[in-house]
Amino acid sequence: MNNLVLQIDKKGILLDFKGQMENFLLTSAEGILGKNIYDIMSSDIAQSVMRCIENALHTGDVQGCEYQSPTSEHHYELKFIVNGKDRVFAFVSNISDYRQAAEKARYLAHHDTLTNLPNRYLFNDRLKQAIAHAERGKKLLAILFLDLDNFKQINDTIGHRAGDQLLQIVADRLMKGVRDTDTAYRLSSDEEAFVVARLGGDEFTVMLTDIGNIQDPAKVAGRMLNALSEPFNIGAHEIFITASVGIAVYPLDGKDVDTLLINADVAMYQAKKQGRNNYQYYSASLNDFTIERFSVENKLRKALDHNEFMLFYQPQIHISEGRMIGVEALIRWLQPDLVFIKPSEFIPLAEETGLIVPIGEWILRSACAQNRAWQEAGLDFFPVTVNVSSVQFRQNNFVETVSQILRDTGLKPDYLQLELTESTIMYHSENTNKKLQSLQAMGIQISIDDFGTGYSSMNYLKRFPLSTLKIDQSFVKDLVTNPTDQAIVKAIVSLAHNFNLKVIAEGVETKEQLAFLRECNCEGMQGYLVCPPLNPNTIVQFAKKGKYL
């Protein structure tokens, strides 16, 4: 069925035509004979037409092209047949209906008609592509296999039509649950990062690509279960449903489509066995890991609101003068069951989840307020040292936060010292330097924690405005017996002095260690030999003693 036949010569001049077609020709039929096709067609069709004419004349074969009008969304098929040595017939058909039907058929073949979600066929296809992608990029990928609990029973009770409606709402809620953009749990802004499909019946699958770590699928599974926990109102019924989810991770649990799907299914049955309404990883070892971490993370989220954190303070002592020169604030987490959790156990998790930002702000505020309170209680003035996590330091508003806290608490900047690790200040050093300069300009001192354990480049010592290096306790521990540690400690002290920095040794537990440090001219020490970290009230008594060595 041709709607339009044109006769065009090799220069593109329209010699004759039959039929009519809106949208394809720019003008009405009147007076178009003898015009160049560029004057009667939009330039992109005219370009393809010219190319086809040239090819047809050159090869003598039939040429064809398709064209979709960008404005009218019409599809055209064009066929060119040589007519003599310098002209062609062009047969133009509007194939829009055919195209739409084909598109629709394609969509139907790839989607579930009830929920409009991708079907098994499309899901497997996407999964295959994603596996190839993950393999190339050495990425993790997860399959979540979700099956509604007791769906058959519900379906039998409320009838199939209501059952279908329920499945449609389930599909919507699953999509929302997966897409949820809660920042901490966010997977990716990329819409392509996941596919939710209905395999049939009450079985749904989700593919998560590019997952950052092994816990991400569990977070999504948790969100999906959550999304189903609200009651479903269908007709007069209020229905409660739960689901069981199995998780398989590429490449741990399988490297191809079939294995991953089978293993996610196996894990789903495991979840059913565990009492339904839960999720399980195929690799059982991942379950404990995730649950353990999950529960600590949940507790950590609440700890700040529930006032479970407190700061202890460890005195720093001047070695030759024996007086107290400051205190270091060290966080303690006392859980409601009165279990103390060490910072080394929860700080990394707080950093990973971003919780360190509010927690770190609380630490700074409490330490500054505490130091101001000591000053008002009549103690000698000394600086409080606060450990700053790299995640916290990298916040754009870090300097403003510090200065706001000083204003709020009324502590002078001279009595605040910030402790950063080497890796913190080596990251993005341009920006770092600006921040350090601003802090120094305010009067705040900067010390480097755990010196010698991080970067070997010492270039930063002369670039950044620092005041103190802290010798890590790993060098102090065997100081008396280990000549290498002795050499390192001596080197750090003389390096610091060459750069006009003070040195404080950490973890000093014995008189012998102290004697060695004194001999090296190390200014300060911190450690159980004099005092462990104390609560703020005990510091008041301690500070009154005056002389400690």
Q: Which does 202 bind (CB under 5 to 8 A by kind): Mg ion, ligand C2E, none?
A: none
Q: Which does 331 bind (CB under 5 to 8 A by kind): ligand C2E, Mg ion, none?
A: ligand C2E
Q: Site for ligand C2E (CB under 6 A): which residue of 255, 306, 342, 511?
A: 342
Kindly state the smallest distance separating residue 330's Cβ from ligand C2E, in Å. 4
In the bound state with ligand C2E, the residue whose beta carbon lies nearer, of 52 and 311, is 311
Nearest to 495 by CA among 518, 526, 466, 525: 466
Contact between 469 and 451 under an 8 Å Cβ cutoff? The reply is yes
- Of 380-409, binders to ligand C2E (CB under 6 A) are 387-389
**Spatial separation of the C-alpha atoms in residues 32 and 28, rounded to whole Å:** 8
In the bound state with Mg ion, the residue whose beta carbon lies nearer, of 53 and 384, is 384
Q: Site for ligand C2E (CB under 6 A): which residue of 347, 402, 466, 496?
A: 347
Task: Compute the Cα dihedral for 404, 409, 414, 419 and give only its sign.
Answer: negative
Q: Which stretch binds Mg ion (CB under 5 A): 22-30, 199-207, 211-219, 442-450?
A: 442-450
Q: Which does 469 bind (CB under 5 to 8 A by kind): ligand C2E, Mg ion, none?
A: none
- Identify how many contiguous H helices and E strands the chain contains and give both numbers: 20, 21
The position carrying tokens 């389930």 is 170
Q: Site for ligand C2E (CB under 6 A): which residue of 41, 329, 448, 539?
A: 329
Q: Which does 363 bind (CB under 5 to 8 A by kind): Mg ion, ligand C2E, none?
A: ligand C2E
**Spatial separation of the C-alpha atoms in residues 457 and 432, rounded to whole Å:** 16
Kindly state the smallest distance separating residue 490's Cβ from ligand C2E, in Å. 20
Nearest to 230 by CA among 166, 160, 152: 166
- Of 444-473, binders to Mg ion (CB under 5 A) are 449-450
Kindly state the smallest distance separating residue 449's Cβ from ligand C2E, in Å. 5
- Of 485-544, binders to ligand C2E (CB under 6 A) are 506-509, 526-528, 533
In the bound state with ligand C2E, the residue whose beta carbon lies nearer, of 270 and 371, is 371
Number of residues that bind ligand C2E (CB under 6 A): 24
Give the C-alpha distances (Å, rounded to integers) separating 300 from 37, 163, 169, 204, 354.
72, 41, 34, 33, 11
Kindly state the smallest distance separating residue 381's Cβ from ligand C2E, in Å. 21
Three-class DSSP category at 317: strand
In the bound state with ligand C2E, the residue whose beta carbon lies nearer, of 254 and 383, is 383
In the bound state with Mg ion, the residue whose beta carbon lies nearer, of 265 and 506, is 506
Q: Which does 177 bind (CB under 5 to 8 A by kind): ligand C2E, Mg ion, none?
A: none
In the bound state with Mg ion, the residue whose beta carbon lies nearer, of 4 and 347, is 347
Q: Which stretch binds ligand C2E (CB under 6 A): 51-59, 274-282, 337-345, 511-519?
A: 337-345
Q: Which stretch binds ligand C2E (CB under 6 A): 58-66, 148-156, 261-269, 338-346?
A: 338-346
Kindly state the smallest distance separating residue 292's Cβ from Mg ion, in Å. 27
**Spatial separation of the C-alpha atoms in residues 220 and 224, rounded to whole Å:** 6
**Spatial separation of the C-alpha atoms in residues 392 and 388, rounded to whole Å:** 7
Would you call 286 exposed, middle or buried from its count of C-beta atoms within 10 A (0-12, 13-18, 19+)?
buried
Q: Given the DSSP bridges, would you call strands 340-341 and 324-334 parallel, antiparallel or unpaired?
A: antiparallel
How many CA atoms lie less than 13 Å away from 533 in the CB half-sphere?
A: 15
Q: Which stretch binds Mg ion (CB under 5 A): 29-37, 58-66, 363-371, 414-422?
A: 414-422
Nearest to 6 by CA among 109, 132, 123, 93: 93
Token pair for 87: 């002209």
Kindly state the smallest distance separating residue 491's Cβ from Mg ion, in Å. 18
Task: Decide if residue 308 touches ligand C2E (CB under 6 A).
Answer: no
Q: What is the DSSP letter of 11?
A: T
Contact between 408 and 440 under an 8 Å Cβ cutoff? The reply is no
Contact between 170 and 151 under an 8 Å Cβ cutoff? The reply is no
Task: Decide if residue 261 touches ligand C2E (CB under 6 A).
Answer: no
Whether the bond between 251 and the residue before it is cis, its omega within 30 degrees of 0, is yes
Q: What is the edge-to-edge ordering of all strands in the sheet holding 87-94?
A: 14-19, 4-9, 87-94, 75-82, 63-68
Task: Decide if residue 419 touches Mg ion (CB under 5 A).
Answer: yes
In the bound state with ligand C2E, the residue whose beta carbon lies nearer, of 133 and 518, is 518
Q: Which does 489 bind (CB under 5 to 8 A by kind): Mg ion, ligand C2E, none?
A: none
Q: Which residues bind ligand C2E (CB under 6 A)?
A: 314, 329-331, 342-344, 347, 360, 363, 387-389, 449-450, 473, 506-509, 526-528, 533
